[in-house]
């Protein structure tokens, strides 16, 4: 049987040589594919690998023949009898396609298959290193969805190996605007000379599914840094996906997470804007407790931490059973801190001068804790205040922007010049009166 196979291959190799030297593209492709099919039908996997290498290295081998050979051999990867044979075939095809721009997409798909095998074997670091070798963003002929899916796989593996810096670098290769593209528009026919973009394989998710995967990975990344506002924005993007908005079982847990992370985010203009936008959402009426929570933050009134925690601690603990999992180890401490910060901002709105003891009483804190939280907010520029420690008095000031400072300075300068002019006038008047008296 083996002798017959060798004889058949030898015969086909002679045919391939004649076709190649004659420059017959179709004939060369057919001869190459026939050799590959012959090895596959005989289940001679080692011979298949040897023939792939041999055919790719033949002098003046046609690009189209190499492309056809690699594509045909890739169909047999899932037909291999065992894992070792599969890995060997993938490695052979990878070495053949390495450095050849006309089979770069096939090479990317091969690397992805090999990385998946390595991940299943528990070698996550090796799988991540393999995936990072390929820069798919430079592949002009690869479908957009396939590119995004490949980069997202790179990001996921980096997060799995806890390489957060590289995960962030890779994630920046994807612009969030790409998910908002209108897929319903008809594709333009490529002009002559343009790169023909290949169709994405059937197993590649749609653009909206990729959007969901992207933001879930971003949540994992920001969760590591405890960046609550960015986590909230990621959940907001998932919430805006039409398929999520149509299904209450999907959007209710997402909206709960948006509310929690909004409350946990430090106070700034972005957080305030998101807070007001979320409050206007009609779906919030389905979860009245969370509407009340956000309403309390918008209302300029002091919130009692003990009563708030008593009311929401069961909801807080219940988050671990819902989509996205628990809110994090530090979340309970950060929630208390945000309530204290909210209360200090409320006090600063109603008082221009107040004793530190009175602030501590209003916030239900000790003097040292009240002073610490107040100092932290001044340092982070959340508010402007001066603390007179010997007297125990806090003076709050309104935050002025650059235009206000310049306007007040110009106004003061104008007043000063008016006073100088009036003084000069009065001096001149007195001098004239004295001269008149002396002359008389």
Residues 14-40 have pLDDT tens digits of 777 777 777 777 888 888 888 888 787
Task: Give dist(CA 264, CA 260) in Å, integer.
Answer: 6
pLDDT of residue 247: 80
How is the chain split into domains, by residue range? 1-100, 249-349, 351-399, 404-439
How does the average pLDDT of the chain come out, rounded?
A: 81
What's the rounded Cα separation, in Å, for the pair 51 and 68?
14
Tell me the longest C-alpha to C-alpha distance in the chain: 145
Residue 64 C-alpha from the chain's centroid: 39
Q: What is the pLDDT of residues 34-73, one digit of tens each?
A: 888 878 787 777 888 887 788 777 777 777 888 888 888 8
Residue 137 DSSP one-character state: G
Rounded distance, CA 411 to CA 388, Å?
A: 30
Q: What is the pTM of this model?
A: 0.76
To 5 degrees, how large is the angle CA 198–CA 199–CA 204?
Answer: 125
CA 398 to chain centre: 36
Residues of the chain where predicted confidence (pLDDT) is lower than 50: 185-186, 192-194
pLDDT in tens, 266-295: 888 888 888 888 888 888 888 888 888 888
Is domain 351-399 classified as CATH 1.10.10.10?
yes
């Amino acid at each position: 049987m083996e002798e017959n196979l060798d004889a058949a291959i030898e015969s086909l190799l002679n045919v391939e040589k004649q076709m190649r030297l004659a420059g017959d593209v179709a004939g060369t492709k057919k001869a190459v594919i026939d050799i590959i099919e012959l090895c596959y039908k005989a289940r001679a996997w080692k011979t298949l690998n040897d023939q792939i290498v041999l055919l790719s290295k033949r002098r003046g081998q046609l690009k189209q023949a190499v492309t056809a050979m690699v594509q045909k051999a890739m169909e047999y990867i899932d037909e291999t009898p065992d894992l070792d044979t599969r890995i060997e075939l993938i490695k052979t095809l990878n070495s053949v396609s390495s450095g050849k721009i006309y089979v770069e997409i096939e090479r990317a798909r091969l690397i992805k298959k090999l990385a998946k095998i390595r991940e299943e074997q528990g070698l996550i670091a090796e799988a991540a290193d393999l995936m990072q070798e390929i820069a798919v963003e430079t592949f002009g002929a690869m479908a957009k969805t396939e590119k995004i899916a490949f980069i997202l796989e790179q990001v996921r593996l980096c997060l799995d190996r806890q390489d957060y810096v590289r995960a962030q670098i890779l994630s920046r290769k994807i612009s969030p605007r790409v998910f908002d593209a209108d897929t319903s528009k008809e594709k333009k026919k490529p002009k002559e000379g343009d790169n023909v973009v290949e169709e994405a394989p059937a197993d590649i998710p749609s653009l909206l599914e990729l959007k969901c995967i992207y933001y879930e990975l971003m949540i994992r990344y920001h969760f590591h840094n405890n960046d609550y506002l960015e986590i909230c924005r990621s959940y907001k993007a998932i919430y805006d996906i039409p398929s999520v908005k149509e299904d209450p079982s999907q959007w209710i847990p997402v909206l709960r997470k948006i509310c929690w992370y909004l409350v946990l985010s430090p106070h700034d203009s972005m957080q305030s804007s998101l807070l007001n936008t979320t409050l206007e959402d009609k779906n919030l009426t389905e979860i009245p407790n969370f509407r009340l929570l956000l309403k309390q933050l918008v209302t300029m009134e002091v919130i009692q931490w003990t009563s708030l925690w008593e009311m929401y601690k069961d909801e807080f603990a219940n988050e671990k059973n819902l989509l996205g999992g628990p809110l994090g180890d530090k979340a309970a401490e950060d929630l208390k801190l945000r309530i204290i910060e909210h209360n200090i901002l409320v006090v600063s709105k109603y008082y221009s001068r107040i004793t530190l003891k009175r602030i501590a009483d209003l916030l239900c804190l000790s003097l040292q804790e009240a002073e610490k939280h107040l100092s932290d907010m001044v340092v982070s520029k959340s508010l402007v205040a001066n603390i007179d420690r010997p007297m125990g008095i806090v003076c709050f000031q309104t935050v002025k922007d650059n235009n206000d400072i310049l306007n007040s300075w110009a106004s003061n300068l104008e007043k000063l010049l008016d006073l100088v002019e009036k003084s000069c006038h009065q001096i001149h008047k007195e001098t004239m009166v004295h001269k008149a008296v002396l002359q008389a």
